[in-house]
Structures are given as C-alpha cells and as structure tokens.
Amino acid sequence: MEYCVQTERGGGLGIRDILALNKALMCRHLWNVIKDNQSSIWVRWITHNHLRHKSVWTVDVKGGSWGWRKLLRLRSALLPYIDLKIGDGESFSLWHDPWHSLGPLIQRFPCGPSRTNIPAAATLSTVIVDGAWCWPLITDMECIEITHVLPTIHNGSDSILWRGGDFSTKVSMIFSGVGT
C-alpha cells in the first residue's frame, strides 16, 4: 500500500492516499459547520436537523447517521488548529464552545451552570462587561478553576480562525495520521 501512495519520483505509483484525502474533505465539511457558513445549504440543513441550537463542539455523537458520527469524531483533531478570538462574547457559548484552554466547560464542569448560577445557554457576553472579564463570585471549589486563566478579549466581534491562515483541503492533509 505504501508503495502505491509514494510519489513517482520516490519509486511509487503516485496514487493519492484516498483515506487521507477523505479525512481532509470531511474536515472541510466540519470546518464549514464550525464557521457556521450559512451560504452553504448543507450547513443550514445540518444546523437545523442535527444541531438544533446546540454547539457542534458538545452535541452528542450518538443517534446520528454514520457520516455525521464520523464527522463529529474529527472535532478533537481539528481543535488544536482553531483559534476562537473573543470579542464581544455574543457568538460563543459560555459552556459549550472551546474558547477556554480547558475546552468546552460543560464537559469539564457538568454542574457548572447550576453551581455558578449562569444558565447553560449563556453566551460569553454574560461574563464580559466593557471589554473585560466580569465573572460573578464563584464559591464552588471545582468551578473556581475556570477564572484562573482567562484568554484575552479583543475589540470587535467574536471570530473563529484557522491557525496559519485560511483553511484549505491541502492544509487539512495533516490529518492523514489521525484515526476516526
């Protein structure tokens, strides 16, 4: 198999690694969902039928089609290459999006919303006032870790960026070694 995917100059047949290409293309679809690319009919359909006001980062893998489950399993592989730039906090979910270095807070602190009195559906704007972090007093020892290291708040709106520039299928070939 390795002989087939080696370049012709390298003594191989020069055939593309189809599994790596498939992962790259699936990453492209997932990236479009993460970016909430509303110009895509497919993204609008996924948002309406699979996400239903849930975050792509914490929606349950169970219950979807085989393809949807495969796509969701790529989330952890994509996360290290994505930056969530916090601005006004209106676009990011406080509990469900991976804006914090701990990842989606609901996964680390399942009781966080009840222990902090911040609703599970809250956006980051709930704890941002005049461009600065403004958390309510958290007395729960488990949840206090949330406020220890907070990312920088930038001017403007929230944005999701691909580290190193724009996402491209070529760039996503880095996932060829990632299992799904």
Give tens-digit pLDDT for 32-68.
999 988 899 999 999 999 998 899 999 998 878 899 9
pLDDT band at 70 (very low <50, low <70, confident <90, very high): very high
3-class state of residue 152 by DSSP: coil
The residues spanned by each domain of the chain are 18-165
With beta carbons less than 8 A apart as the criterion, state whether 149 and 101 touch: yes
Give tens-digit pLDDT for 111-125.
999 989 999 999 999
Give tens-digit pLDDT for 129-164.
999 999 988 888 888 889 888 999 999 999 999 887
C-alpha to C-alpha distance for 14 and 145, rounded to whole angstroms: 51
C-alpha to C-alpha distance for 11 and 14, rounded to whole angstroms: 8
C-alpha to C-alpha distance for 68 and 46, rounded to whole angstroms: 9
